[in-house]
Structure 1
Amino acid sequence: MSQCDVSERPASESVAERRYVVAPHLMLEAHDDAHAVVVNTATGARAKVSITAFRMLSRFDVPRTVSDVFGRSDEGRAASRVRALVEHGLLWDAEAKRAAAKPRRRPSPFRFCNAPSYSASGAVADVVVLGVPYDLGGSDNGRDGPLAIRQKSLDYTYMVDFDTRQPAGWFDAGAGVRILEGVRIADADDIPWIHGEPQHVVFERVVETLDELLPPHGVPLVLAGDASVSHAVAACCAGRHPLSVVHFAAEGAAAEREGEAVTVRDVARAMIHVAGVHSVVTAGLREASGYALPPGISEVGATRLRAGDPGDLVAELPSAEHVLLSIDMSVVDVSTPPSGKGMSLREVSDAIHTIGGRHRIVGVVVSGLDPSLPMGHVAAIGACNLALQALHVATLRRVA
């Protein structure tokens, strides 16, 4: 955290004559009688300033000159303090032209499967991993889920063959085949977000970052706090290809919208209104939701999938070739012995492979993991397994 010193400095005539305004994306995080902490919500950067400096800062809510704020008699002393705020990026010269600030990412202590970081990969990755630890779309605590998945994924070591210089992939003991061989994965860290930010600002940051990071045929793996983030990923993917969304969830996700924010209860209804999204299927429900489903939205219960065939799920999809997979880990029954209420890892995996056999998977979202729950560590193992299986299916055609 930087500290802003607004001690006296020689005044500059140009400072006094120019108009200044509070930097965009600035938010007050905390304050007391002596100091205030302000946050740039676009970058996550924090600065601690004196309460006097903060009061001075707040007077530039619209573009003003130093004399507009302090009067001619005090503009000389005030100009030096204003200069300090400008140097720390808290005040902006309203007349200066500048490039629009791009969203920045916040480093994560772990990388998915210990794959190279995005910056080190040279931006040639086939799969780009992005963490979005946002969980205000539901009542569960999922913000630590992306971190837990990354940490557990270190059991699956990413290695590059010495001779071919291509990723070695992993051997799937259950299927008896090697998966993700030759597929380059890069981890792009996390999207920063601050309590108090409007949800649409966070989601716009997700879309802009994915648009910036993904190569033309790249597949995003988004590790999200809760399933509401799927709305942002759908907006990004649908901007590249018209698509359908298959959302695995234990409960219905097509409730009537009650506000502007997307929640885990209405994310399906929100996604069907995204330009380029043709249909949304919620799969694996433990019981019928009872919602009146609008055109383009359908539901397939866990009982129907278990009793029939994963093809029943594919039958709900139109002929659109591109599919976004959204996996809320609440759909998976990780209890021992199984309770029989949710879907097993094998059932979800079979459904993913069936979808990938008939459609092109262009993105994967894994969400809804609360590592503080009694079976949280087991759910993290399952999340890693499903993420790797989904990526294998998504990249199989490209490798072939």
Structure 2
Amino acid sequence: MNSALVIEQSTAQHVILLDMDTSRRTKVTTPLYQLVRRFAAAGTASAVLGETCDRRLRGALDALLARGLLQDADAAPPSLPRRRLNVAYRFCNAAAWSEKTKYDFVVVGAPYDMAGDRECRLAPIHVRQKSLDYPYRLDVHSAQPVGWFDCATGGWILRGASMADAGDVPVDHAAAAVDAEVAVISVLDEVCARGAVPVVLGGDQAGAEAVRRWCARNQHTAAARIGAGESETDNATHGPHAPGWLHFDVLNANGEPEAVGTRLQGATTILLSIDAAALHDCYVSGPASTRELRMDVARQVIAEIGRTCRIVAIHLSGWAAGGAASDVTSAAACDLLLHAMDAALDTERP
């Protein structure tokens, strides 16, 4: 029996099984599910079902093997590891990535976590789940994306922008940072080969370094990080104070939109990283004067970056699991990611 299976829904007639490794859902009849359960412990068909197993039962076993609900222990394992993992939810319910289609944006989850004091590895699934509040829809007549209505500005953003979700990078959480970076870069090479802007859902800030190195192979790219005060994830190697990172604090003077052009110092292309850890800190207890998050300022800074430079990659890091603020942080992260994508499409830049 496939050890990654869990029951998602059960009725008297049917059972829906979810494969936690691939996020694939399979609906089977209750008798077939009972047959799967008989192989909870490894064993041969004759040992579990008896020597008199008839042809119809053998056919059912073959069907269950083909659908991945049972596994043949004697079969040869796959020769190559999977480069990308399917996910239960796709960002904004966008289409699954296909190598035959050209996209403006491709979303990739990179749940790498260097075992810091924040639980970041669950960020991609939580942010994707919250993003379903912002569904991606196509117009019936034109088959083009209708975009999202931004209540804060009273206008539409990302109208006509194509998007796909390519799933998650299969990251080994015990691996060294350099191995995780190689895995992220390999997936970005695959899914962005036709010029899409990657939107990477981290993970901690180490993932941003992988995206930065991917950008740097093709062109000199500046790196900017949108935050709100100092983040606990900052460090000399991977934080915004590492060489080349510009930190826009949306609570202080250096986050003011009018200062963006000066601080970018003539950069033409940029990697934009959004610090969800700092967003989270703004929703926990603390004096309002130091904890208040100005989403309007954050949006304006992102828009000004898009008008000044061409955004070639977007990264989210530092989302923390647990606590009442997690759901609000996910909503804020989704909002800023959508605005970052809209800024990447800015047609008014010189």
Q: Is TM (by shorter chain) over 0.5?
A: yes
- Paired with 2:241 and 2:212, the residues of 1 have a C-alpha distance of 11
- Paired with 2:300 and 2:223, the residues of 1 have a C-alpha distance of 17
The question of 1:312 aligning with 2:259 is answered: yes
Does the 8 Å CA contact 1:152/1:381 hold for their aligned counterparts? Answer: yes
Deviation for aligned residue 1:254: 7.0
Does the 8 Å CA contact 1:115/1:187 hold for their aligned counterparts? Answer: yes
The question of 1:251 aligning with 2:230 is answered: yes
- Is 322-331 or 378-387 further displaced after alignment? 322-331
Deviation for aligned residue 1:377: 0.5
Report the counterpart of residue 321 of structure 1 in structure 2: 268
Deviation for aligned residue 1:175: 1.4
Deviation for aligned residue 1:89: 5.5
The question of 1:303 aligning with 2:292 is answered: no
Identify which of 199, 202, 211 aligns with 1:221. Answer: 199
SS at the partner of 2:199? Answer: strand
Deviation for aligned residue 1:255: 4.6
Trace 1:24-103 onto structure 2 (pairs within 5 A).
87-88=76-77
SS at the partner of 2:89? Answer: coil
The question of 1:105 aligning with 2:84 is answered: yes
Does the 8 Å CA contact 1:323/1:363 hold for their aligned counterparts? Answer: yes
The question of 1:387 aligning with 2:334 is answered: no
Look up the equivalent residue of 2:76 and give its one-letter code: E
Report the counterpart of residue 235 of structure 1 in structure 2: 213
- Paired with 2:115 and 2:286, the residues of 1 have a C-alpha distance of 31
- Paired with 1:161 and 1:168, the residues of 2 have a C-alpha distance of 6
- Paired with 2:106 and 2:334, the residues of 1 have a C-alpha distance of 15
- Paired with 2:124 and 2:315, the residues of 1 have a C-alpha distance of 11
Does the 8 Å CA contact 1:334/1:344 hold for their aligned counterparts? Answer: no
Identify which of 166, 170, 188 aligns with 2:148. Answer: 170
Report the counterpart of residue 280 of structure 1 in structure 2: 245
Does the 8 Å CA contact 2:276/2:317 hold for their aligned counterparts? Answer: yes
The question of 1:191 aligning with 2:173 is answered: no
Distance 1:338 1:167, change over 3 A: farther
Report the counterpart of residue 97 of structure 1 in structure 2: none
% identical aligned pairs? 31
Deviation for aligned residue 1:135: 1.5
Does the 8 Å CA contact 1:356/1:394 hold for their aligned counterparts? Answer: yes
- Any idea what the Cα deviations from partners look like across 1:174-201, whole Å, max 9, x if unmatched? 2122111111100000011223222211
SS at the partner of 2:96? Answer: coil
Deviation for aligned residue 1:320: 1.9
- Any idea what the Cα deviations from partners look like across 1:352-381, whole Å, max 9, x if unmatched? 011111111111111211231221101111
- Paired with 1:388 and 1:171, the residues of 2 have a C-alpha distance of 11
Report the counterpart of residue 183 of structure 2 in structure 1: 205
- Paired with 1:311 and 1:337, the residues of 2 have a C-alpha distance of 28
Report the counterpart of residue 290 of structure 2 in structure 1: 341
- Any idea what the Cα deviations from partners look like across 1:121-174, whole Å, max 9, x if unmatched? 733111000001112163211111111110010011111111111111111122
Look up the equivalent residue of 1:340 and give its one-letter code: S
Report the counterpart of residue 331 of structure 1 in structure 2: 278
Look up the equivalent residue of 2:154 and give its one-letter code: G
TM-score by length of 1: 0.63
- Paired with 2:109 and 2:153, the residues of 1 have a C-alpha distance of 28
- Paired with 2:288 and 2:95, the residues of 1 have a C-alpha distance of 38
TM-score by length of 2: 0.71
SS at the partner of 1:104? Answer: coil
Report the counterpart of residue 7 of structure 2 in structure 1: none
Which structure: larger Rg? Answer: 1
Look up the equivalent residue of 2:133 and give its one-letter code: D
Deviation for aligned residue 1:313: 3.3
Deviation for aligned residue 1:215: 3.7
- Paired with 1:323 and 1:339, the residues of 2 have a C-alpha distance of 32
Distance 1:146 1:116, change over 3 A: same
- Any idea what the Cα deviations from partners look like across 1:27-52, whole Å, max 9, x if unmatched? xxxxxxxxxxxxxxxx9xxxxxx9xx
- Paired with 2:197 and 2:287, the residues of 1 have a C-alpha distance of 32
- Paired with 1:224 and 1:171, the residues of 2 have a C-alpha distance of 26
Does the 8 Å CA contact 2:177/2:206 hold for their aligned counterparts? Answer: no
Does the 8 Å CA contact 1:103/1:208 hold for their aligned counterparts? Answer: no
Distance 1:356 1:187, change over 3 A: same
Deviation for aligned residue 1:227: 1.5
Report the counterpart of residue 98 of structure 1 in structure 2: none
Distance 1:176 1:338, change over 3 A: farther
SS at the partner of 2:101? Answer: coil
Distance 1:107 1:254, change over 3 A: closer
